[in-house]
Amino acid sequence: MAKTKQRKEQEVQKLVERLKSSKGAVFVSYDSLTVGETTALRQELRAEGVSLTMIKKRLLKIALEQAGITDATVDDHKKNISVAVSETDEVAPAKLLATFAKAHETVELQGGVLESAFIDQAQVTALAKLPSKDELLAKMVGSLKSPLSGMVGVLSGTTRSFVQVLTAIKEQKA
């Protein structure tokens, strides 16, 4: 059954709102996936707070224009396009879809949106290779912790050496 004009307008408005409030979005095409594979992809994305929506390219182009993203090249793609949107993590959609694409040859990253600007396929791939936010925070904490750990080691080494000298003097006198 064909969608009415009103329903299409609602879909476009919903996508515009999601794109404006999102931290990151990735355009992906996947043809020839089974229903089980598509369901597994959606569940994996949903578990990380990423939603996946299939939309016609013409409607996607309208939604991107209304969201203020004018440099997107959606018409160049010959396959159907789905949009994976995350409102909490910039890297999550790209990382999850790139991992899924490694296991499924028919999945192709087509581009995306980052901070209200269009990014091409190469930039999405580079974004997918970045460490996650949690990994970066852990590295930063480790970097902040290491000088303090070194200082504690030096200070305890001085105290330990002093105690060893006192113990040696005690044993020598005894």
pTM above 0.75, yes or no: no
C-alpha distances (whole Å) from 53 to each of 18, 85, 153, 157, 171 are 11, 8, 54, 60, 78
Same domain, 53 and 107: yes
Is pLDDT above 60 for 51? yes
Whether residue 111 sits in one domain with residue 35:
yes
Query: Would you state the structure tokens that stand for residue 115, as one six-digit string?
Result: 């901070």
Domain that holds residue 88: 5-130
Helix axes 5-21, 57-66, angle to 10 degrees: 50
Residues 22 and 78 in one domain: yes
Please tell me the total count of domains within the chain.
2
Specify whether 149 is located in the same domain as 171: yes
Residues 164 and 109 in one domain: no
Position 119 pLDDT exceeds 70? yes
**pLDDT value of residue 76:** 64
Pair (58, 96) in one structural domain: yes
Q: Are residues 169 and 88 in the same domain?
A: no
Lowest mean pLDDT among 17-21, 77-81, 144-148: 77-81
